[in-house]
Amino acid sequence: GESVGLHLPTLSVQEGDNSIINCAYSNSASDYFIWYKQESGKGPQFIIDIRSNMDKRQGQRVTVLLNKTVKHLSLQIAATQPGDSAVYFCAENGGNTGKLIFGQGTTLQVKP
């Protein structure tokens, strides 16, 4: 079946540096992708989304890049802050409006 995977389970960055979290997806039918942030003891929190007709989308301090050719998704966080420490999940819809398939998650650790 389809799967969404993240390249690294843990990413450690220095405060103020930029962070890049990667995600590979396998279902070429997926046309909607989302990044979520999950802090300890809380539910996932929406960060940014992108549709398959776009290559890039920017939010506040975050950018999502989509490369459909190699089925790769990335989340870039500018000027990473201690409050960015969390587990980050990418998710895809597998071409099905109702479904959402999550990756395993990358833990971002921000060093002061």
Instruction: Return the CA Rg of the chain.
Output: 13
* DSSP-derived secondary structure for 77-110: ESS--GGG-EEEEEEE-TT-TT--EE---EEEEE
Of the two residues 80 and 105, which places its CB atom closer to another protein in the complex? 105
Q: In the complex, what is the shortest distance from the CB of residue 46 to another protein, in angstroms, rounded to a whole number?
A: 4
Of the two residues 43 and 83, which places its CB atom closer to another protein in the complex? 43
The amino acid sitting at 80 is: T
| DSSP letter assigned to residue 49 | E
Q: In the complex, what is the shortest distance from the CB of residue 31 to another protein, in angstroms, rounded to a whole number?
A: 8
Q: In the complex, what is the shortest distance from the CB of residue 17 to another protein, in angstroms, rounded to a whole number?
A: 26
Interacting residues toward another protein by CB under 8 A:
1, 32, 34, 41-46, 49, 89, 91, 93, 97-105
